[in-house]
């Protein structure tokens, strides 16, 4: 009996262990940290041997193959030791892909938009009564779904970390939303390494498969010629003039795949903003490729309201709308969020170089106030002045921290999960309204205290936040 060792006891690792058990392998799971009770119970239910708090080398090096969880980097000592011994190390997606038994896959990756696009594509297939599962970097692990259920289609969100351990896996429909610098610490701080990781989405594709990509994305276009394209190529974009499977004609989205066409007005979409036009285009191409009728796709687009933690309305207090955007963990995703705002907006983020990266481009009449640790320094860089005397202004004030003289029309407060800040020249603009708040001010002021990442924040009790708000997709405001 072949021996499979799984590294990591989270969603991905436990799913891989269950699948290995179902397929008759001798399975052992090792996690250097503590395994959450939910996953410990799952392992015990399936009678999988495991350890936590350590990596016992003699038990791990006895493996015929190792399935590595995506959160474990290649630089980890245990992974290096496995490579030196010639023991194969693969990802959960690679391992689970061997047992799909004829099911087809829609695999979606990108620096931004992949969760919304994945969920939207899944809803399009589900509402058309296709047999479909949602897996990968969202929902259940792909391996667990393969182990315990069967679907004709799997819609899978793939991070670059999951793509890195894929070698023979092939996507029937591969979707690359965009590429912007992210997670570079995992890629030797080399952008090209990260780009190459994202392009693994099209590896092994055949002539009957489809590769969907954004024709408006510079890094995607720059690197497209470096890869074989034997599959059907389906570009999309709002700037496309010809040759695109999806394009914007005035205020109408038009999509054409395999002789099937659909058109829908931008104002008919429930989800707003140019980023969601891209998401709708990519999801529609994928759904048409899976055989979903055009009228069913349009109906889903008219009713889909988005995903949790991505521009998610949380309530209104004193004329200020509060929005949970904690899934926005990089500069571009925050820019798209701010660009979609149609009322004066206060943005709350975290990080040591806040605002140096994110004074977003300003539309006529748009007003963005930005709050977070390190703002005084950022003020000087953005406006050429130091505005430390304005640190008293903050979002918990009923006027959104923007001054009573500018309250007309109401304000929005966007709470972001962004914690990596890099200078992005395209986002800079003069005349941006910038207000300052530092962690010291938060600690000094009175009022109900809530923790937002590493910096103390305050939000109105009436807005419905009844427990700590943390940046990241795991946060869940209580209403």
The total number of residues written for the chain in this structure: 479
For the chain, how big is the Rg over CA atoms in Å? Answer: 23
Query: What's phi and psi for 271, nearest 5 deg?
Result: -90, 130
DSSP-based three-state secondary structure for 338: helix
Give the orientation angle of helix 274-289 with respect to helix 114-127, to 10 degrees.
Answer: 40
Annotated catalytic, 38?
no
Residue 114 among the catalytic residues: yes
Write down the catalytic residue from 137, 178, 276, 279.
137
Number of H helices and E strands in the chain, helices first, is 15, 21
Determine which helix (DSSP H) or strand (DSSP E) holds 414, and give its type and residue range: strand 411-416
What sign has the CA pseudo-torsion 293, 294, 296, 300? positive
Q: How far is CA 144 from CA 11, 25, 38, 188, 395, in A?
A: 9, 15, 14, 31, 42
Give the distance, in angstroms, between the CA of residue 35 and the centroid of all CA atoms in the same chain: 24
Three-state DSSP class for residue 214: strand
Bridge partner residues of 247 (DSSP): 237, 254
Ramachandran assignment for 351, one of left (phi > 0), alpha (psi -120 to 50 degrees), beta (any other): left
Q: Which of 21, 68, 112, 114 is catalytic?
A: 114
Question: Which string of DSSP letters, residue by residue, matches 144-210?
Answer: HHHHH---SEEEEE--HHHHHT-SS---SEEEE-------GGGGTT-HHHHHHHHGGGGTT--TTSE
Q: Is 183 a catalytic residue?
A: yes
C-beta separation of 113 from 216 below 8 A: no
The catalytic residues are 114, 137, 183
């Amino acid at each position: 009996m072949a021996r499979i060792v799984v590294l990591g006891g989270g969603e991905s690792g436990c799913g891989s262990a269950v699948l290995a058990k179902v397929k008759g392998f001798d399975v052992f799971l090792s996690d250097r940290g503590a395994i959450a009770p939910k996953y410990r119970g799952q392992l015990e239910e399936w009678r999988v041997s495991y350890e936590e708090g350590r990596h016992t080398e003699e038990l791990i090096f006895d493996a015929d193959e190792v399935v590595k969880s995506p959160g474990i980097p290649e630089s980890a000592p245990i992974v290096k030791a496995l490579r030196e011994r010639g023991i194969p190390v693969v990802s959960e997606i690679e391992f689970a892909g061997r047992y799909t038994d004829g099911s087809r896959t829609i695999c979606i990756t990108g620096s931004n938009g992949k969760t919304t696009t994945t969920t939207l594509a899944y809803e399009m297939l589900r509402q058309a009564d296709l047999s479909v599962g949602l897996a990968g970097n969202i929902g259940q692990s792909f391996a667990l779904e393969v182990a315990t259920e069967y679907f004709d289609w799997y819609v899978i969100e793939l991070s670059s970390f999951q793509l890195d351990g894929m070698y023979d896996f092939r996507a029937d429909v591969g979707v690359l939303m965009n590429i912007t610098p992210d997670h570079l610490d995992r890629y030797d701080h080399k952008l090209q390494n990260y780009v190459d990781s994202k392009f693994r989405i099209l590896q092994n594709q055949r002539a009957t498969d489809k590769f969907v990509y954004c024709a408006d994305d510079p890094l995607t276009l720059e690197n497209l010629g470096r890869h074989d394209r034997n599959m059907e190529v389906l570009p999309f974009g709002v700037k496309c003039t010809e040759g695109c499977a999806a394009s914007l004609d005035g205020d109408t989205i038009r999509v054409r795949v395999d002789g099937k066409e659909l058109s829908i007005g931008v104002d008919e979409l429930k989800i707003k903003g140019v980023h969601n036009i891209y998401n709708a285009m990519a999801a529609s191409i994928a759904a048409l490729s899976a055989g979903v009728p055009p009228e069913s796709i349009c109906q889903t687009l008219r009713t889909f309201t988005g995903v949790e933690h991505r521009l998610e309305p949380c309530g209104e207090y004193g004329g200020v709308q509060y929005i949970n955007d904690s899934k926005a963990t990089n500069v571009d995703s925050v820019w798209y969020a701010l660009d979609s705002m149609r009322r004066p907006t206060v943005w709350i983020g975290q990080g040591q170089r806040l605002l140096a990266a994110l004074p977003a481009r300003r539309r006529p009449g748009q007003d963005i106030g930005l709050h977070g640790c390190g703002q005084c320094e950022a003020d000087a860089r953005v406006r050429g002045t130091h505005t430390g005397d304005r640190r008293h202004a903050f979002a918990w004030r009923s006027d959104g921290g923007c001054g009573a003289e500018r309250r007309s029309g109401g304000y929005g407060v966007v709470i972001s999960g962004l914690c990596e800040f890099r200078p992005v020249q395209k986002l800079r603009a003069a005349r941006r309204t910038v207000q300052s708040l530092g962690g010291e001010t938060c600690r000094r002021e009175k009022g109900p205290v809530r923790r937002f990442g590493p910096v103390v924040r305050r939000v109105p009790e009436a807005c419905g936040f009844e427990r700590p708000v943390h940046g990241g997709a795991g946060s869940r405001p209580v209403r």
